[in-house]
Amino acid sequence: MLDCGLDMTSTLNFLPLPLVQSPRLSNLPGWSLKDGNAFLDKELKECSGHVFVDSVPEFCLPETELIDLSTVDVILISNYHCMMALPYITEHTGFTGTVYATEPTVQIGRLLMEELVNFIERVPKAQSASLWKNKDIQRLLPSPLKDAVEVSTWRRCYTMQEVNSALSKIQLVGYSQKIELFGAVQVTPLSSGYALGSSNWIIQSHYEKVSYVSGSSLLTTHPQPMDQASLKNSDVLILTGLTQIPTANPDSMVGEFCSNLALTVRNGGNVLVPCYPSGVIYDLLECLYQYIDSAGLSSIPFYFISPVANSSLEFSQIFAEWLCHNKQTKVYLPEPPFPHAELIQTNKLKHYPSIHGDFSNDFRQPCVVFTGHPSLRFGDVVHFMELWGKSSLNTVIFTEPDFSYLEALAPYQPLAMKCIYCPIDTRLNFIQVSKLLKEVQPLHVVCPEQYTQPPPAQSHRMDLMVDCQPPAMSYRRAEVLALPFKRRYEKIEIMPELADSLVPMEIKPGISLATVSAVLHTKDNKHVLQPPPRPAQPTGGKKRKRASDDIPDCKVLKPLLSGSIPVDQFVQTLEKHGFSDIKVEDTAKGHIVLLQEAETLIQIEEDSTHIICDDDEVLRVRLRDLVLKFLQKF
């Protein structure tokens, strides 16, 4: 199984979970059907024309119907965003396999899960809505609730216990490490340049190679650069995890982010940045580190609020071997690789586990707050949205591309604060993909259907699709695809003593052949030729053995034949040896030489010759020897 991401966009259908009692949210009117029927008004609330489920947010799990997940042997994780559904898989499906991931992936993935669990668990909600999921009722609901897919499979968030159990099933791997899977294939993680520890995977046998390219980046940000060279010579390249906003250039977006941030703060407003506790935030802090002094913002406090803020900032500094070259060299100076260390030291950046406690004492405005969750449905961000939403001086800047910012904002309407959308997605765009594919030259590319056509809203943008030759094979949800290669060869090892006994004969310059008699031993998808057992000593018993009991290697070895029989010459030879009345017939597969007088047939085909005579052994042997004259023996 390649990755197991969690679809969190389902949470956008739910009301936010406020940290502090919110009169506005608790007083939202219940929703009733057009005919006035209000039986759902406890479960569904209406806000500015949108309907939300008033319940603990639920997540959409990976497809579980298509295959029995208990039969999955291995899960390969490519980055920490792509493992958020792991506890659902490992704890509730009978999964007994192994999960492979790099160390930063596991550590930061744990932080993301921990934050998620914390966000949800610290605001217990008494009510759990389920009536609306009834298919007959769902049909009556307004969009987008009406169109939500597989709502019956939506699940509440996992617990920390489940997270720990899931993570214990992960085996840590390093870049370029070769991992044997049951002898059948070898898998290798490669740096993908997208996040700390993010990987692409190579799955290869001796004769076939499949590359799995997930979230990858060619930009120079903090992680180790993408390893492209190792992706060469792939039979199939599975391409996923491209940028979600192909029209937004990350550099331009960072510029836009800084400009809007400065403009707001200079006007005395506050800036709210809903974000994950790891990833782009490191780069944003680095940009701000360079920018704030020049923009005259040195006196503005930056707050990073997350239950895992401290761990995230510290972890980033210790994963030196997973960082880009520049940052790695800093470690040897020794300096912290990320400049946020200095921001913290100089008190420009302060971090808190939550808005409760120290933060409320230190809080000074105007300020910039980085906090989660980017969906705006849970986490400390909900509090700041409620707090700052009423003033047009304040600005919320969306940098994470995972959620539609308009949908995220829907339960906060009407909203006076300014909203800026600067999605920073450093993953590959289509120009980079076509360069990559030209460089790597896989025989076949397999990718989601969405990548093979321009985005629906910009159907003329032919530049916003994967363009390769031969055209990419595309797949859609729940589609079963046969990858375009066949396993034709297997590698077989020969034991040294057997190899010693071989006597090759050169049949063509540069090509030698040898006959082998051996026992093929197959275990764990490994094949070994071993020397045959020694012939049994003659027992001297009186009882004759049946021929079929003879072990084959006790027989006298017959020579192997090669070459072809030129029919004309063969006929001449026959005539020389006294055969007359010879007739040759052409058949589909070769020739039949008919010795009419002797009532004998010689059937000559590409790979066989048959002499059919009427119980005349002497004649057969004579003819056989004539045939053999034309063939080589070894």
Partner 1 sequence: MDPECARLLPALCAVLADPRQPVADDTCLEKLLDWFKAVTGAGSSLLLLQEHPCLVELLFHVLKPQDLSSRILSFTLRLAGIFAAQENCFQFLQGDPSLFVASAAGQLLVRVLDLALRGPAEGHVCPQAWDWPACARKVVCHLEDCLRSEAAPRVTQALHVLTTTFGHCHGLWTQGLWARLSPLVARLLEKDPVPAPHALVDLLLSVARSSVLSSDPGLWETAAQALSRLSPTQAGPLAAGILKLQDCPQALRIQAFRILLQPLAHVLEAAAQGPGAPRLLEGAAGDLMAVDTFPPSRSACVGLLCSALAHLELLQPLPQRPSPWPQAPLLAAAVTILRFCNGSAAPSSEAGSRLCTMLVGCVRVQRAALDFLGVLSQGLGPQELVTQVFAILLEYLVSPDSSPTVLKKAFQATLRWLLSSATPPGCCDLEPYAQLVLGELLAVLQKRLCSPCWEVRDSGLEFLTQMTRRWGGQGSFRQALLGSEVPELTRQLLQDPESYVRASAVAAVGQLSSWGLLAAPSRPEHPDVPQKTPLEELLLVLTTDSEGFPRRAVMRVFTEWLRDGYADVAKDPEQSVAPVLQAASRDLDWEVRVQGLELALVFLEQLLGPLGPSTAAPPGALTQALQALCRVQLFEFALRSLFDCDRPVAQKSCDLLLFLKAKATPSGSQQEVGDGPNVASVEAALRRWQAGEQGQPLGELAPETVLAVLRSMDLEALRDTLAESSDHVERSPQSLLQDMLATVGVLGDNEADCY
What are phi and psi for residue 15, nearest 5 degrees?
Answer: -75, 150
Q: Given the complex with partner 1, which of 30 and 454 has the nearer CB atom? A: 454
Q: Is 265 exposed, middle or buried (0-12, 13-18, 19+ CB in 10 A)?
A: buried
Least distance (Å) between residue 521 CB and partner 1:
57
566 binds partner 1 (CB under 8 A): no
Least distance (Å) between residue 391 CB and partner 1:
16
Q: Rounded to whole angstroms, how far apart are CA atoms 70 and 11?
A: 27
Q: Rounded to whole angstroms, how far apart are CA atoms 25 and 580?
A: 109
Q: Given the complex with partner 1, which of 460 and 476 has the nearer CB atom? A: 460
Burial pattern 586-615, b for ≥16 Cβ within 10 A else e, equals eeeebbbbbbeebebebbbeeeebebebee
462 binds partner 1 (CB under 8 A): yes
Sequence-distant (≥ 6) Cβ neighbours of residue 508 within 8 angstroms:
none
Q: What angle do CA 620, 625, 626 make, to 5 degrees?
A: 100
Listed ranges 102-110, 149-157, 254-262, 443-451: which one lies at the site for partner 1 (CB under 8 A): 254-262
Least distance (Å) between residue 414 CB and partner 1:
21
Q: Given the complex with partner 1, which of 134 and 458 has the nearer CB atom? A: 458
Is the distance from CB of 274 to CB of 374 less than 8 angstroms? Answer: yes
Listed ranges 137-145, 251-259, 474-482, 484-492: which one lies at the site for partner 1 (CB under 8 A): 251-259
Count of residues interacting with partner 1 (CB under 8 A): 28
434 binds partner 1 (CB under 8 A): no
Member of 253, 275, 369, 436 binding partner 1 (CB under 8 A): 253
Listed ranges 148-156, 257-265, 499-507, 563-571: which one lies at the site for partner 1 (CB under 8 A): 257-265
252 binds partner 1 (CB under 8 A): yes
433 binds partner 1 (CB under 8 A): no
413 binds partner 1 (CB under 8 A): no
Listed ranges 176-184, 197-205, 242-250, 481-489: which one lies at the site for partner 1 (CB under 8 A): 242-250
Member of 134, 267, 326, 392 binding partner 1 (CB under 8 A): 267
Alpha-helix runs per DSSP H in 299-416: 309-318, 325-331, 340-345, 358-362, 381-388, 405-409
Q: Rounded to whole angstroms, how far apart are CA atoms 274 and 398?
A: 6
Listed ranges 245-253, 326-334, 344-352, 390-398: which one lies at the site for partner 1 (CB under 8 A): 245-253
Listed ranges 60-68, 79-87, 271-279, 459-467: which one lies at the site for partner 1 (CB under 8 A): 459-467
Sequence-distant (≥ 6) Cβ neighbours of residue 44 within 8 angstroms:
30, 31, 51, 52, 53, 54, 129, 132, 141, 145
Sequence-distant (≥ 6) Cβ neighbours of residue 228 within 8 angstroms:
436, 439, 440
468 binds partner 1 (CB under 8 A): no
Q: Rounded to whole angstroms, how far apart are CA atoms 362 and 629?
A: 102
357 binds partner 1 (CB under 8 A): no
Member of 99, 113, 262, 446 binding partner 1 (CB under 8 A): 262
Sequence-distant (≥ 6) Cβ neighbours of residue 608 within 8 angstroms:
none
Residues forming beta bridges with residue 579, ordered by sequence position: none
142 binds partner 1 (CB under 8 A): no
Q: Given the complex with partner 1, which of 461 and 589 has the nearer CB atom? A: 461
Q: Given the complex with partner 1, which of 106 and 273 has the nearer CB atom? A: 273
238 binds partner 1 (CB under 8 A): no
94: left (phi over 0), alpha (psi -120 to 50) or beta: left
Q: Given the complex with partner 1, which of 259 and 603 has the nearer CB atom? A: 259
Tell me 62's DSSP state: P
258 binds partner 1 (CB under 8 A): yes
Listed ranges 162-170, 204-212, 255-263, 510-518: which one lies at the site for partner 1 (CB under 8 A): 255-263
Member of 117, 254, 284, 498 binding partner 1 (CB under 8 A): 254
Least distance (Å) between residue 317 CB and partner 1:
24
Least distance (Å) between residue 463 CB and partner 1:
4
Least distance (Å) between residue 431 CB and partner 1:
9
Q: Given the complex with partner 1, which of 463 and 553 has the nearer CB atom? A: 463
**What is the C-alpha end-to-end distance of the chain, expressed in Å?**
50
Q: Given the complex with partner 1, which of 263 and 419 has the nearer CB atom? A: 263
Listed ranges 4-12, 197-205, 286-294, 583-591: which one lies at the site for partner 1 (CB under 8 A): 286-294
463 binds partner 1 (CB under 8 A): yes
Q: What angle do CA 361, 19, 128 make, to 5 degrees?
A: 165
255 binds partner 1 (CB under 8 A): yes
Q: Is 553 exposed, middle or buried (0-12, 13-18, 19+ CB in 10 A)?
A: middle
Residues forming beta bridges with residue 52, ordered by sequence position: 45
Q: Rounded to whole angstroms, how far apart are CA atoms 234 and 210?
A: 6
67 binds partner 1 (CB under 8 A): no
Listed ranges 32-40, 159-167, 243-251, 276-284: which one lies at the site for partner 1 (CB under 8 A): 243-251
Least distance (Å) between residue 81 CB and partner 1:
24
Q: Given the complex with partner 1, which of 75 and 287 has the nearer CB atom? A: 287
Coil, strand or helix at 355:
coil
259 binds partner 1 (CB under 8 A): yes
Structure-block tokens of residue 388: 């700052």
Q: Given the complex with partner 1, which of 254 and 323 has the nearer CB atom? A: 254
174 binds partner 1 (CB under 8 A): no
Member of 247, 501, 515, 517 binding partner 1 (CB under 8 A): 247
Q: Given the complex with partner 1, which of 8 and 300 has the nearer CB atom? A: 300
CA atoms within 13 A on the CB side of 266: 10
Is the distance from CB of 254 to CB of 399 less than 8 angstroms? Answer: no
What is the DSSP annotation of 170-221? Answer: EEEE-TT--EEETTTEEEEEEE-SSSTT-EEEEEE-SS-EEEEE-S---S-S
3-state secondary structure 127-182: CCCCHHHCHHHHCCCCCCCCCCCCHHHCECCCCHHHHHHHHHCEEEECCCCCEEEC
Footprint of partner 1 on 287-316 (CB under 8 A):
287, 290-291, 293-296
Member of 438, 461, 589, 624 binding partner 1 (CB under 8 A): 461
393 binds partner 1 (CB under 8 A): no
Sequence-distant (≥ 6) Cβ neighbours of residue 437 within 8 angstroms:
237, 445, 466, 468
416 binds partner 1 (CB under 8 A): no
Residues that bind partner 1 in the complex, under the rule CB under 8 A: 247-249, 252-256, 258-260, 262-263, 266-267, 287, 290-291, 293-296, 422, 458, 460-463
